[in-house]
Structure 1
């Protein structure tokens, strides 16, 4: 079965289910790639890295965006959290298509020498060009299993129809042969107001498989941003108030490690 750490194409089903003042599901499909960051740093991935391509990855789209190796960036976050040994990292992301790139969320999957998942860095972007990093790990820094639910505070404005308050609950399944990420937004009273998921089978990442996927979806990134704006228009048409974006907090990295709704 395909290992995400060897590289993979993920045929993902994306779902957003809003609850409370309006109930409307939002579903679409997208093909993500899982690429070891070492291959990105060496520019030896099966798809174009830092050069033109129907599908491509630009290293400056991730991390500090300062041109340094991605391994240096993630190591600088793992070490202070006591996760130095979780240094085998693969990036699950939406590739650029026809030169255009937008990633609502990318996941840095970090495993240790025993091949156990120990941390996940969720790199979240909004349509205003801002980003926040949620570093997810267990309180004991042990293996993250598919049944673990990790909690942390919501510190980043994403949707113009949801306040920057409450918390997130994360869950991950890293295969083999599949990938799943579930992120729920919880109101201050702990009730789930928005559920999201990204789930799909993984298959081998090769130049041939990337070429076939890119030819099927040459404008995938453009489609995703268009669908997000279309969904926003539908929600606004139902009379839901548009919330003005608050200034982004100076804190750009937060740790998600609680199992009782408390992060650090």
Structure 2
């Protein structure tokens, strides 16, 4: 089983091939933590790095409002029985009161350490969130129908193919959207593990300061670039049942 907590210095790549060609890469920082331990750093570092259950998933109908409780409630909503093993999470940290996490991944383990389900939670810039539940094969591969409005340039159709192997010394995540009548859109994340220490956290803040805010700003900047290229905007659904207000 992978060790948590840890940080991953990441390189994220997006590749669009139709109806315009557009590709970008940028560096970022992701955290890998245990859902039962949302305080992986010392108290004086928490203004820079903190995690809250309310930033993720939906509140469970009953029981205490913990991240583990939210994971279990989400599994139950997808007709997957929660198991007593660990839940490890790849996510962005809240920094100086701000959090934005386009993709959060949860690896749900049995007591013996094997993975029986993965939750892939997607946030958009409109305050919405949606969670996909998959049962990957031994190589971490899975497919799921798309069901959430993420980009103003993408329709809500087709399917996702994923490779979501739990990270260890290296991080390898691949997600490809296959629209019904167009070429695939590919997103890739690669990362190198860094053990958590005060020095490592401060160094990461110098290298990628205010990472959640930078991620949100980059998404908007690339959206403007695509709009200037003439890419048509797909209207957002008037009422999205998965749109909820995110904590700030």
TM-score, normalised relative to structure 2? 0.86
User: What are the ranges of 5 or more consecutive residues in structure 1 without an aligned counterpart?
Assistant: 139-143, 253-264
Q: Note the 1:1-264 alignment, pairs <5 A.
A: 4-40=2-38, 44-46=39-41, 53-65=47-59, 68-79=65-76, 81-85=79-83, 87-138=85-136, 144-146=137-139, 148-188=140-180, 192-250=183-241
What does the per-residue CA deviation read over 1:94-144, in whole Å, with 9 as the maximum and x for residues that have no partner? 112222211111111212233222221111000100000001114xxxxx4
Partner Cα distance (1:48, 1:64) in 2: 27
CA RMSD of aligned residues (A): 2.4
- SS of corresponding position for 1:101: coil
The Cα of 1:199 is off from its aligned counterpart by 1.5
Asked if the contact 1:145–1:172 (Cα under 8 Å) also holds between the matched residues in 2, the reply is no
The Cα of 1:193 is off from its aligned counterpart by 2.0
User: What are the ranges of 5 or more consecutive residues in structure 2 without an aligned counterpart?
Assistant: 244-248
Asked if the contact 2:128–2:242 (Cα under 8 Å) also holds between the matched residues in 1, the reply is no
What does the per-residue CA deviation read over 1:137-183, in whole Å, with 9 as the maximum and x for residues that have no partner? 14xxxxx433x431111110001001111111111122421222211
- SS of corresponding position for 1:198: strand
Partner Cα distance (2:159, 2:43) in 1: 37
Asked if the contact 2:10–2:190 (Cα under 8 Å) also holds between the matched residues in 1, the reply is yes
What does the per-residue CA deviation read over 1:24-83, in whole Å, with 9 as the maximum and x for residues that have no partner? 11211111001101112xxx322669x951222222101225770111121223356344
**Which residue number corresponds to residue 256 of structure 1?**
none
- SS of corresponding position for 2:37: helix
Asked if the contact 2:12–2:28 (Cα under 8 Å) also holds between the matched residues in 1, the reply is yes
Partner Cα distance (2:117, 2:163) in 1: 11
Count of residues in Structure 1 that have an aligned counterpart in Structure 2:
239
Partner Cα distance (1:134, 1:163) in 2: 17
Asked if the contact 2:85–2:113 (Cα under 8 Å) also holds between the matched residues in 1, the reply is no
The Cα of 1:8 is off from its aligned counterpart by 1.0
Structure 1 residues 244 and 37, CA, compared in 2 at 3 Å: closer, same or farther? same
**Which residue number corresponds to residue 246 of structure 2?**
none
